[in-house]
Chain A
């Protein structure tokens, strides 16, 4: 059970072949093996949300998933959704509203926010706050983040903010 296992997966649209130890978690795989350091490790026990990434379209805590579980999976990280332009409007709203300070929670926060906006195009503030409750931010107090997501939702819905 401790021998390396071969896996094949898609990461941000690129095919990745790797040989990984079974105990290696996805966050460490992304950061240490693929050097995708935008996925952050805050608690390593699935509470803080800084390591949130998208696997097969759903957001997950990459510190709670093993790299070997990613065989044949489609993984998307903050680098991927940034380069593709998928969340450019959300990032712009975060910038305008100063919805980040130290920025450590931000990649995970953006992944969670985009997930919400895909599921629920016009969430109210309470729904936004509820959806982000698995993503800790120690700097902002959350209000600016909620504002930025609300602004993005309205803009995407074609209404003026």
Chain B
């Protein structure tokens, strides 16, 4: 590990004896999950709880002529059958737009469809029953009369004048368009030695959280309070939205997030069926449970990455990249998701293309269109895999055209490590990146020259291996620039309250949430380090709007960087307060004292003076023995949000080494490398595992994952047998290395690491496949790289 700009003065709170910062320590509370003692929403049962099952549209676009539930209502265990119109009495519709996305439009969406369905899988009626099985039995008897309407399924023709308009009130099927023009693109391309164009096609895919979306909504009419148990990444956002649309105050809504079975951005949105569950609880005045089954998950969990992006790159013979130009088209389904909108992904593509490189000449257009398919929205590494695949694909095509090694063209064009701060051609500001250090480290880790030699030797034996490189940047630690400025009540700040209990242990309440990333661990590590207590004395409470400070939660790689800094600052205050009390008790001064291993010690010689447990005993039970005028404050709260930079960009580079079977079209992944720079590393193991997990989701997109729709808007592979996700047997070992450039915007210096793996994995694999196929003159710019795609490119089928 190499450190570039660590500032010892500003890191003093972390640079303490027995610091947990930078150390691999096991996450607290893993035993609960390993022994089957977790509490996922699907495990929750409440008194008088009923289950909701949704009748869902079999059509992509249809008018609802009538719903006959008379037979279903007679079925055993049925409590109620509720239509969209009936539910509208307790919940209002919403429109998923943000004001800073200029010109963006969407149509009002209801919790349950009223009059018209706009995608296969949209809920048409809710069947509430004593058990889920009884609800499913009754749902089969709900008869819905539909009149099919023209379905808009091909994003390429969605804007044609002859194509039906999904929402007449909007005038057309265009949700959002962004144009960007920087530098002198036309002149740069004209002066280039070569200009290469390609169209990049991405398979629509989804998150496949292993625990499906689930919610238990409990409206207590006597308390006039709604408690929502849900595996959300952003509990305060859910609180705000539920209150807003149910006509409640936020103080009347409590959101509780216990264990969450995978999120990846799937569980950061507000879904219509979850809103319906909240509303049904209010309507029926009892707890209502909704657990999506796997078919529902595929049809209603947000999809992502359905893009076709035309790209152009200019290059000179010496390898200088002169310009990038893209024209991105994406289809988001019939509604923009709420409240984060479905335009962010395309917006990110425009923001990120060309980001690692020096050239300032960049032109981009992105169009976001409606279609009668399931909704699309932000999924792990939003927009990054598209931007990275387009950028890195174009860079490799340029290198191939001028006969330059892929490493060399990057060396000649990546922004120099000493050029910061600077801005990208799309106007994003970079504080400190380390592309060259990362690339140099990657080349060493993978032993690039040896691999090239091996590749060459194997080609002679008709074994076709490829090396693919992909540099990337990642958006982390988002400020209010992401959502707040657009009017969404999604907090960009986080808060932490930390207190010493009566036995000298520490209780820490944080507004970030845990879905397995290690939020609890990193919080406990920071608190333990700053305070000088052992981690086993720190208990972290999160995921409960009644019992944590207000904050954003865990998404967009923000938990460590923002929530971690709040924990650091709160704990510094607590430490000072403890030392003030200790000084009073010991007739010393705070400056002469420190806390080490749960004991107040003298700084000069480390001599133990008073145990924290003894100090707590005095403060809580014998305050009468303290000197007059001392009022101990053994609880402290601090909040943090980045203010200087809208985003803390990270960077990195990935490499793939793989084998293409030119007879079958199968790709075997042999090895994958990642070097990334997320600033201060709190727990190296957790960072590495975030990278690996992220890479594998990117590898899934590269090779397997695709929601296959037919021309009528029917999802044809909505099950786990037909929708392929990576299995252990086909995944490679992944080596992870780091460069460390802490952000100076916080004392902690941490940036995010949750999405870096996903950002660049597919680009590295695609470049490696094209490298392997070089002798055949085949170029592929479409993922997933199925055997069919590869054999077609080879002209074998």
Residues of A bordering B, CB below 8 Å: 23, 31, 36-45, 47-48, 50, 77-79, 82-83, 91, 94-98, 100-107, 110, 125-126, 128-130, 132-146
Contact = CB atoms under 8 A, between A and B. Distances in A.
Chain A interface main SS type: loop
A42 B295 CA distance: 11
B725 A138 contact: yes
B263 A102 contact: yes
Given A41-B42, A132-B727, 19 more contacts: A36-B36, A37-B36, A37-B43, A38-B36, A45-B719, A45-B721, A48-B720, A77-B36, A82-B36, A101-B518, A102-B260, A103-B259, A104-B210, A110-B34, A132-B728, A133-B727, A136-B720, A138-B264, A141-B694
A142 B261 CA distance: 16
A42 B34 contact: no
Nearest to B515: A102
B304 to A, nearest CB: 14
Nearest to B40: A104
B228 interface: no
A6 B776 CA distance: 66
A42 B261 CA distance: 9
B210 A130 contact: no
B294 interface: yes
A69 to B, nearest CB: 18
Nearest to A37: B43
The 10 A-B residue pairs with the shortest CB-CB distance in the complex, in nearest-first order: A38-B36, A103-B33, A101-B516, A104-B261, A141-B696, A102-B516, A78-B36, A47-B720, A82-B35, A141-B692
A143 B692 contact: yes
Nearest to A47: B720
Contacts of A104: 40, 209-211, 259, 261-262
B745 interface: no
Contacts of B569: none
A98 B34 contact: no
Interface string B509-528: 00000011110000000000
Contact of A38 (B37, B210, B262, B685): B37
Given A91-B35, A144-B689, A136 B516 contact: no
A45 B26 contact: no
Contacts of A142: 696, 726, 728, 731
A146 B26 CA distance: 17
Interface in B301-317: none
Chain B interface extent, by class: 35 or more
A140 B692 contact: yes
Interface of B: 26-27, 30-40, 42-43, 133, 207-212, 259-264, 293-294, 515-518, 685-686, 689, 692-697, 719-721, 725-731, 733-734, 757
Contacts of B133: 23
Among B31, B210, B293, max chain A CB count under 10 A is at B210
A64 to B, nearest CB: 12
Contacts of A132: 727-729
Contacts of A78: 35-36
A116 to B, nearest CB: 11
Given A95-B26, A136-B720, A103 B516 contact: yes
A98 B210 contact: no
B36 A102 contact: no
A43 B293 CA distance: 7
Nearest to B34: A91
A85 B56 CA distance: 45
Nearest to A91: B34
A101 B36 contact: no
Chain B interface main SS type: loop
A143 B690 CA distance: 12
Given A98-B686, A98-B689, A50 B210 contact: yes
A140 B30 contact: no
30 contacts: A38-B35, A38-B37, A40-B261, A43-B294, A48-B210, A78-B36, A79-B35, A79-B37, A82-B35, A91-B34, A95-B26, A97-B685, A98-B30, A98-B686, A100-B33, A101-B515, A103-B516, A129-B729, A133-B727, A135-B728, A136-B720, A137-B728, A138-B208, A140-B689, A140-B692, A140-B693, A143-B692, A144-B689, A144-B692, A145-B728
Nearest to B736: A143
Nearest to A146: B728
B693 A139 contact: yes
Among B208, B686, B689, B734, max chain A CB count under 10 A is at B689
A44 B728 contact: no
Nearest to B212: A42
Contacts of B261: 40, 42, 102-104
A23 B134 CA distance: 12
Given A42-B210, A77-B36, A100 B30 contact: yes
B211 A40 contact: yes
Contacts of A139: 262, 516, 693
Contacts of A45: 294, 719-721
Contacts of B694: 141
Contacts of A100: 30, 33-34, 516
A44 B727 CA distance: 18
A141 B733 CA distance: 9
A98 B685 contact: yes
Contacts of B294: 42-45
Given A38-B37, A39-B36, A141-B696, A103 B30 contact: yes
Contacts of B37: 38, 79
A102 B728 contact: no
B26 A96 contact: yes
A104 B561 CA distance: 26
Among B42, B259, B261, B697, max chain A CB count under 10 A is at B261
A141 B726 CA distance: 8
A42 B728 contact: no
Among A41, A91, A133, max chain B CB count under 10 A is at A41
Among A36, A83, A106, A145, max chain B CB count under 10 A is at A106
Contacts of B728: 128-130, 132-133, 135, 137, 142, 145-146
B445 to A, nearest CB: 16
A136 B725 contact: yes
A4 B70 CA distance: 27
A9 to B, nearest CB: 19
Given A138-B697, A139-B693, A82 B34 contact: yes
Contacts of A136: 208, 210, 720, 725, 727
Given A41-B42, A102-B516, A138 B209 contact: yes
A28 to B, nearest CB: 8
A141 B36 contact: no
Nearest to B683: A98
